[in-house]
Structure 1
């Protein structure tokens, strides 16, 4: 096997898949006025209500330099609020605003619409996601 051929690389199909799946999200997220990274932040906040910037970064595997401008834009849209922790001023807490909570009602259909746009069964989603998470977990420790 020629290891330097693009078709033999693991990285390229993962990269291409990520771009294609993200492109399928775009029209759905345009309706919510969210970018894909903003949507990921909102998913976490809908689940947890309030998280620190560090916790968001840990979940999303992003550094604060990437998250800070993204969070500022969400704050400008009035769907999240940022404030310093009373216990430790170094910690910035991100919370949902009432508008951010309302946005969840509109977003509830996004996963199903995405699944339909990709023509994937529930089983396809579970199996594919499981394999990707398995690989991702191996790489987390590297």
Structure 2
């Protein structure tokens, strides 16, 4: 029977619909601690990729940039600091290409706002997605 493969799909749709019934009221009553979110987002060296991108923009091959970032992150962990809290002198131990402008790239806000392509995390990209979602809902509900 060609319909046997549809059963998992129907089960998935039922599960999704049941989840949405619970999800909407939960979101409505949810409290958001922005300070805690920001603090948590800054942990784990999430801006290390931005440091690598910065070095690549300075002309360093990605493989070498990755190696430099690895050493820099290991040092930051040893010193119990975030990347953006390292002094310029500390960072320059790992590459002479790191200059004062590095701080324009490795902060949490700079990292988030640098992702400005379709579906990105920048404020502009997010607002575009919100407008598209609202338009879709207005047209289809």
Structure 2 length as normaliser, TM-score? Answer: 0.27
Greater fraction of residues in helix: 2
| Rg larger for | 2
Tell me: higher relative CO, structure 1 or 2? Use CA pairs within 8 A at least 6 residues apart: 1
Greater fraction of residues in strand: 1
Structure 1 length as normaliser, TM-score? Answer: 0.27
